[in-house]
Amino acid sequence: MVTVLSPLDRKLVRDLWRIKGQALAIAAVIAVGVLMLVMMTGLVNTLEETKQAYYDRYRLADVFAPVERAPDRFLERLAEIPGVAVVEGRVTGSALIDMPAEVVPVRAKAVSLPDDGPARLNDIYLAEGRMPASGRADEVLLLKGFADARGLRPGDRLSATMHGARRVFQVVGLAQSPEFLYTTAPGEIVPDDARFAVLWMSRDALAAAYDMQGAFNEALIGLDRDATAQGVLAAVDRVLDPQGGLGAFGLEDLPSNFFITEEIEGGRKNAVGVPPIFLGVSAFLLYIVVSRIVQAEREEIGLLKAFGYSDWEVSSHYLKMMLTIAVVGAIAGSLGGIAAGRAMAGVYQAYYKFPFLVFQLDPRSFVIGFVISVLAACGGGFGVLRGVFRLTPAVAMRPPAPADYTRAGRLGGIWLRILDQPGRMVLRRLRRQPARMAGGALGMAAGMALSVGMIGVQAGFNQSIDLSFGVLDRSDAQVTFTHAMSDKVVYELGRLPGVEEVEPVRNVGVRLRHGLYTHRGAINGMIAAPRLARAMDDAQRALTLPDEGIVLSSALARVLHAGPGDVVTAEVHEGRRPVLEIPVVAVADSLLGSPAYMNMDALNAALKEPGRVSGAYVRLDEAGQDTALAAIKDMPGVAGVALKSDVRDSIQSMMDSGMGAVRFIMLAIAGIVTFGIVYNAARIAFAERVHDLASLRVIGFSRGEAAFVLLGELGLVTLAALPLGAVMGYGMAAAVSAAFSTEVYSIPLMFDARSVGSAALAVLVSAAFSGWLVKRDLDRVDLVTALKTRE
């Protein structure tokens, strides 16, 4: 059975072929929006599903309860707490790994494995090798990410310092764990596989190394399905407080889980906020293109109605045109989104060290993509279809009434002297049809705004790194101690050869509360007027820390919903564990993390521990850096040294991976969309003027002069779009910067001459290339056919 197309459907095919360039450009804009929607929602779903499957399969604990030292019998008391399903005690400790030919030791965390079988909580995935043999205290498992970064394999040996004693271990296997998806050294926020390691070894061996026989220093707790975490946390703290409990916390405060959750939330914000921008632009373009087609086909519309086609049938013809373009774009975007999502998912798996990947597309994203595309098409064509309904056959078949240009005024004076005839024609058309020209300029401005926003985000990422490591942090390295030490150690550091300046810090783990809002982090105690590591306001002025009060970073202030004049509660997790009520005195501009700052002397006084420091920032002599680092490493009580250059490289890698990498895709897409918009404007102008331009050729104008009339109009519209695009780009840059900012890092709003200039150059290049394509078509126009076409 052969299906025969109706006359209107055949006309639809011919019309689509005639405007194929414009249709493909609009479909590409729609495809970009759908691609971003499918890709981002797919990535969010993939991360969420993979994370949850990994957590469930390897039984990640719901509650973590660090303690200084508690006898094993306290595990039974923890198990009796209502809502607790399973409890397991373990031993953990810090370690330093000596790598051959490297001055700076690698910080590590040692974690015990049960001696009597698999772990009931926080189990591990054995990627290579075997488990440590029973009774072998020198056999360890090594975190696979660190082993890969350092080129280590099962069978290799490494030297580590644990609890002041140097020991040699044999690596018998490589492991991964949901607890260490995102590995950072204590006190840092930047992941670096090469600078932080995790060692797993038998419980008996690790307990002997840290004097924990018959005891544990961390309890892992799994909850019943209907248990409330807050009630269990309070009960756990009551049980462990007498033993030196350091404050139990839930899974949401586990650093690895926190960072990956922030990544997922950032992707979710982008998935909601970015695609509508592209789909809104596509609706605007559809409106312009189809309205011009309807205006050019007035006579055909009248003939169709005169031959008996109803208003609905004629209107549906143009609606089908818009829907076809939208559906083609949605299909292309869906397929592209699947491919892009799979590619990006592989990046996430490598970055977060998932041992497996549960790639999960969100079926709703396809439905939403198609629905929004159709709505964009309908929204763009609604006004056009109303015009089709209003046209009666008699009115439509008559030529439209001549336009009244009396209000446009006449060109005279200086314009007649400086412009030739083609130039006056260009200017006259702009004066007579300002609304149409404004519509074209608005479309180009929207494309430029996309480019300004994405170039601004790129600059914002770079600015964030430059400010963090060039203005806020002016040290060369950060030294961390195993515990709070006497400030005499600062003078010892300053006397070392190669050390030029030392600035002490006191970092104290706390839970900050303000009303219903809480944040688990640290207070950074610094000297009143620090020089090496500073807090700064939004004008990049260094803040002097007062004798009383706390300074919140801007990210932390948003989390706590607190500002100057408010009072926050700080529950300290070390020492005497006091609960402090501290007024907020200022908000600092933060780019990395969510820190809080206090005057170090005031912090120590509040803790009743005067003259204590937990670390220091140091500035080193370039020539004597290695000597200084070697001397610092051999100092007693040093837990680790972090070179600023290494931290900066790690931050750059973090921002260029994961959801941060999406900005590169969006920048490329913004360029494509910008060209599509400019090309559409050029094609529409050509379609409208082809009759006029052919007439100019017939009466004696050269090809160049005729082309100047068309391209001069395009050039002026493009120039008019540049300042408008710059203004719109400011809002776009602000919106996209906010979408990419998380608690891990904040992207400052960058709106400068370079961003605007780069976007303007992209528009001008797109206009030049589009103009060349249109001129080529103009040179090929058949004058006889063009003159037969109704204006």
HEC per residue, 68-94: EEEECCHHHHHHCCCCEEEEEEECEEE
On the question of pLDDT at 656 being above 80, the answer is: no
Q: Poorest-confidence range of 98-102, 325-329, 717-721? A: 98-102
If one compares 279 and 710, the residue with the highest pLDDT of the two is 710
Contact 728, 449 (CB under 8 A): yes
The CA R_g of the chain, rounded to the nearest whole Å, is 34
Contact 78, 59 (CB under 8 A): no
> Could you please report the per-residue DSSP string of 255-275?
HHHHHHHHHHHHHHHHHHHSH
Q: Poorest-confidence range of 38-47, 110-119, 357-366? A: 357-366
Which residues, listed in sequence order, are joined to residue 113 by a DSSP beta bridge?
A: 202
| pLDDT value of residue 662 | 61
Q: Span 40-69, mean pLDDT? A: 88
On the question of pLDDT at 97 being above 50, the answer is: yes
Q: Span 642-652, mean pLDDT? A: 73
Contact 97, 158 (CB under 8 A): yes
On the question of pLDDT at 408 being above 60, the answer is: no
What pLDDT digit, counting tens, does each position of 289-301 carry?
Answer: 666 666 666 677 7
Residue 583: which H helix or E strand, with range?
strand 579-588
Question: How many Cα atoms occupy the beta-carbon half-sphere of 333 within 13 Å?
Answer: 34
CA-to-CA distance for 104 and 185, rounded, in angstroms?
A: 14
What pLDDT digit, counting tens, does each position of 334-377 carry?
Answer: 888 888 777 777 777 777 778 887 777 777 777 777 777 777 66
Q: pTM for this one?
A: 0.71
Q: Where are the beta strands (DSSP E) in 589-690?
A: 596-599, 612-620, 638-643
| pLDDT value of residue 2 | 47
Domain boundaries, the chain: 60-261, 418-474+645-791, 499-620
| pLDDT value of residue 547 | 87
Which residues, listed in sequence order, are joined to residue 197 by a DSSP beta bridge?
A: 108
CA-to-CA distance for 266 and 271, rounded, in angstroms?
A: 9
Phi then psi for 65, rounded to 5 degrees?
-130, 90
Q: Where residue 112 falls among pLDDT bands split at 50, 70, 90? A: very high
Q: Where residue 784 falls among pLDDT bands split at 50, 70, 90? A: low
Question: How many Cα atoms occupy the beta-carbon half-sphere of 425 within 13 Å?
Answer: 17
Q: Span 263-282, mean pLDDT? A: 70
Q: What percent of the chain has pLDDT over 90?
A: 12
**Tokens found for residue 554:** 């801007």
On the question of pLDDT at 401 being above 60, the answer is: no
Q: Poorest-confidence range of 152-156, 169-173, 693-697, 718-722? A: 693-697
Q: Which residues of 229-246 are buried (b: 16+ CB within 10 A; e: fewer)?
A: beebbebbbebbeeeebb
Q: Is 140 left (phi over 0), alpha (psi -120 to 50) or beta?
A: beta
| pLDDT value of residue 791 | 47
**Tokens found for residue 616:** 């220091």
Alpha helices of 133-201 — where are they, by DSSP H? 144-150
Q: Give the number of other CB atoms < 10 A from CB of residue 694.
A: 20
The amino acid that residue 753 corresponds to is A
- Mean pLDDT for the chain overall: 79
| pLDDT value of residue 534 | 82
| pLDDT value of residue 295 | 67
Q: Of 243, 244, 219, 242, whose CA–CA distance to 232 is shortest?
A: 219
Tell me, what DSSP letter sits at residue 353? T
Question: How many Cα atoms occupy the beta-carbon half-sphere of 135 within 13 Å?
Answer: 0
Angle of CA points 223, 224, 229, to nearest 5°: 50
On the question of pLDDT at 777 being above 80, the answer is: no
Q: Where residue 91 falls among pLDDT bands split at 50, 70, 90? A: very high
Q: Give the number of other CB atoms < 10 A from CB of residue 625.
A: 16
On the question of pLDDT at 540 being above 70, the answer is: yes
| pLDDT value of residue 219 | 93
Q: Span 303-329, mean pLDDT? A: 79
Q: Where residue 90 falls among pLDDT bands split at 50, 70, 90? A: very high
CA-to-CA distance for 432 and 405, rounded, in angstroms?
A: 6
Q: Span 465-492, mean pLDDT? A: 80
On the question of pLDDT at 396 being above 70, the answer is: no
Q: Span 510-535, mean pLDDT? A: 86
If one compares 18 and 77, the residue with the highest pLDDT of the two is 77
